[in-house]
Amino acid sequence: MKLDPEVLARVQFAFTVTFHIIFPTMSIGLAAFLMVIEGLWLKTKDPVYLEIYRFWMGIFAMGFGVGVVTGIVLSFEFGLGFAKFAQIAGPAIGPSIGLEVLTAFFLEAGFLGIMLFGLKRVGPKLHFFATCMVALGTQISASWILSANSWMQTPDGIAIENGRVVVTNWLRVIHNPSWLVRLPHMLLAAFITGSFFVAGVGAWYLLCGKHEIFGRRTVSLGLGFATVAVACQLFVGDLLYGRMLHYQPSKMQAAEGFWEENSASPAPYNWVIIPDQTNQRNRFTLATPVLGSLWLTHSLKGRVAGLKNTPRDLQPTMGMVFYGFHTMFIVAILMFFIVGVSLWLRVQKRLFSTRWFLRALVIMTPSGFIATIAGWYTAETGRQPWVIWGILRTADAISPVPGGAMLATLIAFVVIYALFITAFLVFAFRMIRRGPEDAPDHAEASGSLVNALRTQVMDHAAATHPGEGR
Amino acid sequence: MSAAPFSARRAIGVVLATLLGFFFFNALLGVFGLSVAIIALLLFISMAVVIFYARSLDRTQS
């Protein structure tokens, strides 16, 4: 069997980045949530806010740790799987990734210790400042990564000299045409993810009939944040749609599932398709009449451009882009429905007692993660066959590495990441099952080694200074 | 006797809320243009904040 290094490199990067994006999304969302919660605690001195803070800080800390470790791997994969991309594009995106470390990681790392271990060691205001800095750090980190990725989607501020990218305008590299819309889209996705995560756990407690006050407060706050963020996301999502239609028309043509150069008028909205890329047609379509014109052209009779407008060799694979985009969009519709119903139930004063709604919230707990991953699949598969839009094809960016080496490292990543996710899920479920009352004041170092060392040190101190109290 | 009118009122309320939600969804997606989308966004957030503050205290909810 012949192993194709290009396919394996892409599968490997897709696997590792899919796994990775779960954790920064959670970190950004939960850090912002913790910042608000600690601010509310300082303002009101209500101990429930402190309980919420202590509980979610533990889950945030675990997610943050796994996110950092899995993120480092991605940088190495540029060399392992996409060396030619790193060689050609390094001058443009290298500094963005380096600046992420300098401006964001240093900020986060500096204040994370105070945030996790300093609740009883520093004053409450300094601790709140540390939480704010960690939250700010996660967002600055996202902004540099989004800048680098957006440059790959809509490159600007460069010239090609001797087959290499040469930066001619740094501001335009960073501030490329899609960054200012993609960044808020991603940050809002993280806030929504965190909000539904928090609300889902709170709803589970209410359904189980335990930790009632904690559950009510987290459901209320989670849904409050989600309501504002989901509305903003629909608005920003439409702006991004228009921007990408202008800069990457083939991506949006594939995302909507139309083949013909111009669709019928009025255009239907496709929900399910079975695309046939070879014959440039759909074998099956399930659609709602007129809705395509309304949503995609903002008119009653507008026509939607199809993928045949793009030459065959420059077309992305429609199925991947279509289902990535539609998964994200359908989850967004469900989220809007949920936040709308939550407003209605709040008015009716039945928010915490409507069991079907609480069950729906529990089901929606991972919805933000699903939508975020689907959105990134849309962005990345829709950019194909380019790795840097219009400049470098993915096929030309692959490292000259044997397929066997790529397969071996892929298997290694799958095994290691499976351990990571298992550990995270086991500990997160354990913390959730234990509940907020058992949450420690600070993140605990777990494991027998620390406890064993602590015992030895204390025994040694007691032996050498028998008269001193501890 | 009072259950039927109450249910009818609630049903009407649900229908109106659904229509309002449908309008907001389409407006936020830009179906009625950018300016309407911005106004709808501000209106929706204001409405959410007002409802949240008026009803958010756990004590008032069941």
Contact B58 A220 (CB under 8 A): yes
Q: For the residues A377-406, what does the mean pLDDT come to?
A: 92
Which residues pair with residue A165 across a beta bridge?
Answer: A160
Q: Residue A74 is encoded by which pair of tokens?
A: 């991605």
Nearest CA in chain B to A339: B48
Q: Compare CB distances from B55 to A231, A337, A349 and report the shortest one's residue.
A: A349
pLDDT at residue A101 greater than cutoff 70: yes
Contact B62 A227 (CB under 8 A): no
Q: Is B22 on the interface with A (CB under 8 A)?
A: no
Q: Residue A260 is encoded by which pair of tokens?
A: 């013909």
Euclidean distance between CA atoms A20 and A24, whole angstroms: 7
According to the model, what pLDDT value does residue A405 have? 87
Angle at A273 between CA A270 and CA A376, to 5 degrees: 80
According to the model, what pLDDT value does residue A4 have? 84
pLDDT at residue A289 greater than cutoff 80: yes
Q: In a 3-state reduction of DSSP, which class is residue A80?
A: helix
According to the model, what pLDDT value does residue A467 have? 47
Q: For the residues A82-100, what does the mean pLDDT come to?
A: 88
pLDDT at residue A70 greater than cutoff 90: no
Euclidean distance between CA atoms A84 and A397, whole angstroms: 5
Low-confidence winner among A24-38, A128-142, A160-174, A322-336 (lowest mean pLDDT)? A160-174
pLDDT in tens, B3-62: 455 688 888 888 998 999 999 999 999 999 999 999 999 999 999 999 988 876 555 565
Q: For the residues A136-140, what does the mean pLDDT come to?
A: 93
Q: For the residues A441-452, what does the mean pLDDT come to?
A: 51
Q: In a 3-state reduction of DSSP, which class is residue A118?
A: coil
Contact A235 B38 (CB under 8 A): yes
Q: Is B45 on the interface with A (CB under 8 A)?
A: yes
Q: In sequence order, which residues have a C-beta less than 8 Å from that of residue A386 and are 6 or more positions away?
A: A392, A393, A394
Longest dimension (CA), chain A: 91
Q: What is the CA radius of gyration of chain A?
A: 25
Q: Is B51 on the interface with A (CB under 8 A)?
A: yes
Angle at A78 between CA A105 and CA A141, to 5 degrees: 20
According to the model, what pLDDT value does residue A404 have? 87
Low-confidence winner among A265-269, A317-321, A448-452 (lowest mean pLDDT)? A448-452
pLDDT band at A269; cut points 50, 70, 90: very high
Q: Compare CB distances from B61 to A231, A232, A352 and report the shortest one's residue.
A: A352
- Write b or e for each residue in A337-373: b if 16 or more Cβ atoms lie within 10 A of its Cβ, otherwise e: bbbbbbbbbbeeeebbebeebbebbbebbebbbbbbb
Q: For the residues A31-45, what does the mean pLDDT come to?
A: 94
Low-confidence winner among A150-154, A198-202, A230-234, A466-470 (lowest mean pLDDT)? A466-470
pLDDT in tens, A41-60: 999 999 999 999 999 999 99
According to the model, what pLDDT value does residue B1 have? 42
pLDDT band at A225; cut points 50, 70, 90: very high
Euclidean distance between CA atoms A160 and A174, whole angstroms: 17
| CA neighbor of A381 nearest in space, from A307, A325, A311, A300 | A325
Low-confidence winner among A93-97, A404-408, A457-461 (lowest mean pLDDT)? A457-461
Residue A292's Cβ-side half-sphere holds a number of Cα atoms within 13 Å equal to 25
pLDDT at residue A463 greater than cutoff 60: no
Q: Is B35 on the interface with A (CB under 8 A)?
A: no
According to the model, what pLDDT value does residue A438 have? 66
pLDDT at residue A456 greater than cutoff 90: no
Entry field: residues in chain B: 62
Q: For the residues A378-383, what does the mean pLDDT come to?
A: 95
pLDDT at residue A280 greater than cutoff 90: yes
Contact A343 B24 (CB under 8 A): no
Euclidean distance between CA atoms A270 and A287, whole angstroms: 4
Low-confidence winner among A143-152, A167-176, A223-232, B50-59 (lowest mean pLDDT)? B50-59
Average pLDDT along chain A = 89
Contact B28 A235 (CB under 8 A): yes
pLDDT band at A406; cut points 50, 70, 90: confident
Amino acid at A468: E
| CA neighbor of A415 nearest in space, from A4, A113, A12 | A12
According to the model, what pLDDT value does residue A96 have? 87
Task: Please report, rounded to a whole number, the percentage of residues in chain A having pLDDT higher than 70.
Answer: 93
According to the model, what pLDDT value does residue A78 have? 83
According to the model, what pLDDT value does residue A90 have? 87
Nearest CA in chain A to B37: A235
B61 contact residues in A (CB cutoff 8 A): 216, 220, 346, 349-353
Residue by residue, DSSP assigns A240-278 as: HHHHHHHH-HHHHHHHHT--SSB--SSPPEEEEEEEETT
Contact B62 A213 (CB under 8 A): no
Euclidean distance between CA atoms A252 and A246, whole angstroms: 9
According to the model, what pLDDT value does residue A453 have? 46
pLDDT at residue A335 greater than cutoff 90: yes
